[in-house]
Amino acid sequence: MLRGALRKNGFDRWRLVMNGFGEATGEECTFFIEFYMVNPLISPSECVLGFKSRMRATTADLQAALAGTESEKSMLSEALVQPSFAMVKVGCLSKNGRQLNAFFPCSSVRMDTPDYLIRMGSSDADTCILTDTATLGSVTVTRADLLERPELMCNAGSFSWNLHYTIAESFFPNYNDKNCHWSCFGARTSYSGTIVMDGEKYSVSAKTSYGYFDKNWGHSFAAPFLHLSSCNLTSNISGKKLMSSCFAVQGEYNRRLSILTSFEGAMKEFHAGSHRKFDVHYECTEMPPDDDGVKLHWSVSMNDRKNLVDIDICCPTESMFVRDYECPEGGRRVMKVLGGGSGVGELKFYHRIKKNLELIEDVHVANCLCEFGNIELPEL
């Protein structure tokens, strides 16, 4: 997807999310696996990380400072650069969440071949692969790595995976804008296989993975950023599990959200990029503490002439984690996304009949992927 100007000022991110259970503890955990590339044409053969210290001072600057003609503050100021690298980001969004990053030169990345969608790594030991039906790889970051290279911006640990997946539900068309694009082609995705995180093995089953798979690319991130999605839905009307249902909400795109729903084959989609008129109101707020601790509350309401959608999701903050992404424009801008995979709540879908509302579906939502983020500017 990174063509033309995006190769020098753009990002590309494949994101896979799934749930697994610890074989020893039985604990459920939400995992993420992401393939991220930024500005590949700026430095194809060498990773450029924007948070690596780079002093502006030259030999002449040092001599001027010693002579008293150059201020120390000016001499010690750091050069800010545009990042250029490929990265695999993996980790978990559950309690004690973490993120591990593995960086590769963009020239080592292979894409869109008959064998795989994307392959990062220069040797068999560090290769991470995504194909049309599977993904596998391994990432290890030691404490010594972080002490030597704090610009890695991640945690220490190990994470390996071998998963197969099947996409069961997709939403089209994609959201396309001059700055950012979103393809929600795996709103309901089944994963199966194993994940090993810090020595503990987790089993991922197709029936309980409640998986998600999408792709984002463009010149810059959507900011502020909001995302909600789940395929673990139960009808409050019939009491039955909705095995062929899912929804996804994402934005902000030109002050709008895309709200995409599918209930047992009946798809209702409200795309932020369409000319269709609809109003959206949303907020993400912290709720007062209760017996279950502190929670964040996502509220989304969409209405047009024929429909009304209300979504209310809560997620405990103790099971949430902040992920970091260097922005393509550089200057040490970072996209920070707070996310969790244990959101619970309700989604109600109404149909307008003249001045009345007919309740079409009322669903209980579980294992909801909940995210809210924004760009953090550097301290100057």
Of 41, 56, 15, 364, the closest CA to residue 221 belongs to: 15
Length of the chain counted residue by residue: 380
pLDDT confidence of residue 15: 99
Cβ-contact 307, 293 below 8 angstroms: no
The whole model's pTM is what? 0.93
Q: What pLDDT, on the 0 to 100 scale, is given for residue 76? A: 46
pLDDT at 58 (0 to 100):
57
Residues 6+ apart with CB under 8 A from 311: 228, 247, 249, 259, 298, 299, 300, 301, 345, 346, 347, 348, 365
Residues 218 and 4: beta-carbon distance below 8 Å: no
Determine how β-strand 211-218 pairs with β-strand 11-22.
antiparallel
Q: Is 285 exposed, middle or buried (0-12, 13-18, 19+ CB in 10 A)?
A: exposed
Give pLDDT, residue 284. 97
Q: What is the pLDDT of residue 66?
A: 62
pLDDT averaged over 10-residue windows placed end to end, the chain, 380 residues: 91 98 97 98 96 61 60 57 97 94 96 89 85 97 97 97 98 94 98 99 99 98 98 98 98 96 95 93 95 95 96 97 96 96 98 94 98 90
Largest CA-CA distance found in the chain, in angstroms, rounded: 82
Residue 290 per-residue DSSP state: B
pLDDT at 157: 98
- Can you give the pLDDT at residue 146? 97
pLDDT confidence of residue 46: 96
* Rg of the chain on CA atoms, in Å: 22
What tokens appear for 153 in the block? 């911006």
Spatial separation of the C-alpha atoms in residues 134 and 124, rounded to whole Å: 17
CA dihedral 166, 169, 174, 179 (to 10 degrees): -60
